[in-house]
Amino acid sequence: MCPHPGPTLIPPRGPHATGFSLANMAPPSDDDDSRFMRRALRLAERGRGRTHPNPMVGAVVARAGRVVGEGWHRAIGLDHAEVEALARAGARARGATMYVTLEPCAHTGRTPPCVEALERAGIARCVVALRDPHRIVNGRGIRSLRRAGIRVDVGVGADEARDLLGGYWLAHTRRRPRVTWKVAATLDGRIADRAGRSRWITGPEARAHGHRLRATADAVLIGSGTARADDPRLTARAVGAARQPLRVVCDSALELPLTLRLFGAALARGTVVACGPSAPLRRRRALEARGVTVWPLPLRAGRVSPAALARRLAREGRYEVLLEGGATLGTAWLRAGLVDRVALFTAPRLLGADGLAWCGALGVGSLRRARAGRIVQQRRLGADGFLLVDLAAREPGVGMGSAG
Ligand SMILES: NC(=O)c1ccc[n+]([C@@H]2O[C@H](COP(=O)([O-])OP(=O)(O)OC[C@H]3O[C@@H](n4cnc5c(N)ncnc54)[C@H](OP(=O)(O)O)[C@@H]3O)[C@@H](O)[C@H]2O)c1
């Protein structure tokens, strides 16, 4: 976080400087800044799963230590958070401070530029958690605000805001989505019995949470092994999903049977098969005739390159990816440095070494070199446990190395 230089409140300049007195307003403190930004971050969270491809954003208008307006980006095409917060604040926005989790936009997209709305409302100071990495914003909003005489402080709550943006941040800074590997395992880390059966390891509460994770993902990713063994639908069910994630299957040589549910009339549209560049054209045509989209991509070690698929997903605006594949695909993505988080459901049951382990060899060798993570969520779901672990993923091509 970069601290803002001090608590002085700069009065508005230019056309908005009239009719407002600073005399009875206490200047905002660092505490106020953190408090109001935390509130803005919580508001932003309400848009989760509904704003795609826009980021989640929250905004608070505060004056004399009190909130006078707040808003969040509710859904694509609807008002941006800043505009909503200003509408709530009305005339009280004049001379007030706007707290916003992401740099306001300076361009006309589906809605008019937010910086103009801030200017018109007479906002005196704008506290921004993060500069928007999107190439059409990226500093322009901040510069426009400053040009309009609005004081801008950037960096309050930056880490939390980056975390909130997740895949949007990664897609615009590193051209790849955020990948969460979802695993449902027994206490001893087994995801299927010796015959490959995995239904059901966890109970209904855990499975319902799995559907909630799908509902907030932009894409769900599996390998051909899981497609064959489980014939899944990969839809978010019974959780009031605003939209369904894109369903993506990695099938390097297009060998999966066309009878899978993913390729049936109900699911073919919205399903993508990623394959190698020389997968049989005849198979490709058969899938496309059903409405399935085929992405021919480069291979790595004879299989769909994780890096190439990650780039393609980001380019398609799929910023949050839930990897629901088996150990083969998940381990390959982990080794490629492309798994950012693990969402681990643990059932209090034991299958022993006869069962299938959820993670393959990582080439780590010693405990000292083990990949370290940080638990960011833990809860109980019925009889099962749930952990969300942030792995602080590294760039593709970098080995497991020391995790620091
Ligand atoms: N409990 C759970 O959470 C859970 C979740 C998922 C699966 N499962 C279980 O896991 C078992 C299936 O395991 P699995 O490991 O075979 O499934 P998988 O990881 O989903 O699929 C593996 C296949 O994906 C294809 N693939 C394409 N690109 C790849 C790449 N870059 N790296 C690795 N693989 C790539 C490969 O086939 P091609 O070479 O033909 O492309 C590979 O054989 C089933 O028993 C299933 O029930 C359990």
> Over the stretch 348-376, which tens digit does the pLDDT of each residue have?
999 999 999 999 999 998 999 998 999 99
- How many Å lie between the centroid of ligand 1 and the Cα of residue 388? 21
Show the CA angle centred on residue 161, arms to residues 155 and 166, nearest 5°: 135
- How many Å lie between the centroid of ligand 1 and the Cα of residue 331? 9
**Which atom of ligand 1 approaches the CA of 252 most closely?**
41
Task: Name which residue sits closest to atom 10 of ligand 1, judged by CA.
Answer: 326
**309: pLDDT strictly greater than 80:** yes
Q: What average pLDDT does this structure show over 4-8?
A: 29
pLDDT tens column, 105-150: 988 777 778 999 999 999 999 999 999 999 889 999 999 999 999 9
- How many Å lie between the centroid of ligand 1 and the Cα of residue 226? 5
- How many Å lie between the centroid of ligand 1 and the Cα of residue 135? 36
Q: CA torsion, points 69, 72, 76, 82, in degrees to nearest 10?
A: 50
Sequence-distant (≥ 6) Cβ neighbours of residue 178 within 8 angstroms: 166, 167, 169, 170, 319, 320, 321, 340, 341
Phi, psi of 347 (to 5 degrees): -95, 140
**384: pLDDT strictly greater than 60:** yes
pLDDT tens column, 56-109: 999 999 999 999 999 999 998 899 999 999 999 999 999 999 999 999 998 877
**E strand spans, 284-381:** 293-296, 299-300, 303-304, 320-323, 341-347, 356-357, 374-381
What strands lie across the sheet with 151-154, from one edge to the other? Answer: 66-72, 58-63, 97-100, 125-128, 151-154
Phi, psi of 158 (to 5 degrees): -60, -45
The residue ranking higher by pLDDT, 217 or 403, is: 217
Residues 252 and 258: their CA atoms lie apart, in Å, by: 15
- How many Å lie between the centroid of ligand 1 and the Cα of residue 155? 41
Q: Name every protein residue with a CB atom under 6 angstroms from any ligand 1 atom.
A: 183-184, 191-192, 196, 198, 201, 222-226, 229-230, 250-253, 255, 303-304, 306, 324-329, 332, 356
The pTM of the full predicted model, rounded to 2 decimals, is: 0.85
Name residue, tokens 């007479």: 122
Task: Name which residue sits closest to atom 33 of ligand 1, judged by CA.
Answer: 329
Task: Name which residue sits closest to atom 13 of ligand 1, judged by CA.
Answer: 326
Probe residue for ligand 1, chosen from 226, 231, 294, 297 as the CB with the greatest number of ligand atoms within 8 Å: 226
Task: Report pLDDT for 26.
Answer: 53
DSSP 152-177: EEE-TTHHHHHHHHTHHHHHHHHSS-
Residues 288 and 58: their CA atoms lie apart, in Å, by: 40
Probe residue for ligand 1, chosen from 329, 333, 358 as the CB with the greatest number of ligand atoms within 8 Å: 329
- How many Å lie between the centroid of ligand 1 and the Cα of residue 330? 8
Alpha helices (H) in 47-185, listed in sequence order: 81-89, 114-121, 140-147, 158-165, 167-174
pLDDT tens column, 26-42: 566 778 999 999 999 99
Indicate which residues carry an active-site annotation. Answer: 82
Beta-bridge mates of residue 100: 59, 128
pLDDT tens column, 251-305: 999 999 999 999 999 999 999 999 999 999 999 999 999 999 999 999 999 999 9
**Which atom of ligand 1 approaches the CA of 276 most closely?**
41
Name residue, tokens 């021919």: 296
**Which atom of ligand 1 approaches the CA of 301 most closely?**
31
Probe residue for ligand 1, chosen from 303, 351, 354 as the CB with the greatest number of ligand atoms within 8 Å: 303
